[in-house]
């Protein structure tokens, strides 16, 4: 099936669906602790139930470290990306890959209407594509060597 027909929701079924968040008033040190503990490169910043930003490992380097700020004294709200890129669950994997490439982002929150339902990373897309290519190659091998069902 072409990538333009496969939705992001299919990828979410194949991966850990944990979503890591921090409150908008959290300090950067707390957000970094969450990312390190869960071995993820980003967290969603929440104001109550609303997703108001994304905070990534790149933000730590480009906005905190390069500015010489103290992670224990700097609120995430000051460094997060509030106008963040995202996809809807019914967007295609191809669209997600194109968005990541064009906007140079490595993490995309996934929404169902206005509700955050997951996160995908460039690593998730790469792993999913690798698995899909292996399955396609195996199906072709079976077909060529006549042990393909049907």
User: Taking the mean position of all CA atoms in its chain, how far away is CA 103?
Assistant: 13
Task: Establish if 47 belongs to a structural domain.
Answer: yes
Task: Establish if 61 belongs to a structural domain.
Answer: yes
Q: What is the arithmetic mean of pLDDT over 119-145?
A: 83
Ranking 9-13, 100-104, 114-118 by mean pLDDT, the lowest is 9-13
Per-residue confidence at 4, pLDDT binned at 50, 70, 90? low
Task: Establish if 68 belongs to a structural domain.
Answer: yes
What confidence tens digit (pLDDT) does each residue in 40-72 have? 999 999 999 999 999 999 999 999 999 999 999
Task: Establish if 77 belongs to a structural domain.
Answer: yes
pLDDT at 146: 67
Domain CATH for 67 = 3.10.580.10
pTM: 0.83
Let me know: does 56 contact 103? Beta carbons within 8 Å.
Answer: no
- How many structural domains is the chain composed of? 1
pLDDT at 49: 92
Task: Establish if 89 belongs to a structural domain.
Answer: yes
Task: Establish if 149 belongs to a structural domain.
Answer: no
User: Measured between alpha carbons, how far is residue 29 from residues 18, 33, 43, 131 in Å?
Assistant: 21, 6, 12, 36
Ranking 51-55, 99-103, 121-125 by mean pLDDT, the lowest is 121-125
What confidence tens digit (pLDDT) does each residue in 8-47 have? 998 888 777 789 999 999 999 999 999 999 999 999 999 9
pLDDT > 80? residue 129 = yes
pLDDT at 110: 96
User: Strand 50-56 vs strand 42-47: parallel, antiparallel, or unpaired?
Assistant: antiparallel
Q: What range does the domain containing 56 cover? A: 8-144
pLDDT > 80? residue 91 = yes
Task: Establish if 150 belongs to a structural domain.
Answer: no
Task: Establish if 1 belongs to a structural domain.
Answer: no
C-alpha 64/C-alpha 130 separation (Å) is 35
C-alpha 21/C-alpha 83 separation (Å) is 16
Which residues, other chains included, contact 117 with Cβ-Cβ below 8 Å and sequence gap of 6+?
12, 17, 19, 89, 110, 111
Per-residue confidence at 147, pLDDT binned at 50, 70, 90? low
């Amino acid at each position: 099936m072409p990538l333009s027909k496969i939705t992001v929701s299919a990828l979410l079924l194949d991966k850990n669906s944990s979503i890591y968040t921090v409150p908008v008033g959290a300090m950067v040190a707390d957000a970094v602790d969450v990312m390190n503990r869960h071995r993820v490169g980003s967290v969603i910043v929440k104001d109550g139930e609303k997703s108001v930003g994304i905070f990534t490992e790149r933000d730590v380097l480009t906005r905190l470290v390069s500015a010489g700020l103290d992670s224990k004294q700097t609120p995430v709200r000051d460094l997060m990306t509030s106008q963040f890129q995202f996809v809807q669950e019914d967007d295609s994997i191809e669209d997600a890959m194109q968005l990541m490439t064009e906007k140079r982002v490595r993490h995309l929150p996934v929404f169902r209407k206005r509700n955050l339902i997951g996160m995908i990373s460039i690593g998730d897309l790469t792993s999913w594509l690798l698995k899909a290519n292996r399955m396609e190659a195996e199906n072709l091998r079976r077909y060529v060597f006549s042990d393909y069902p049907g």
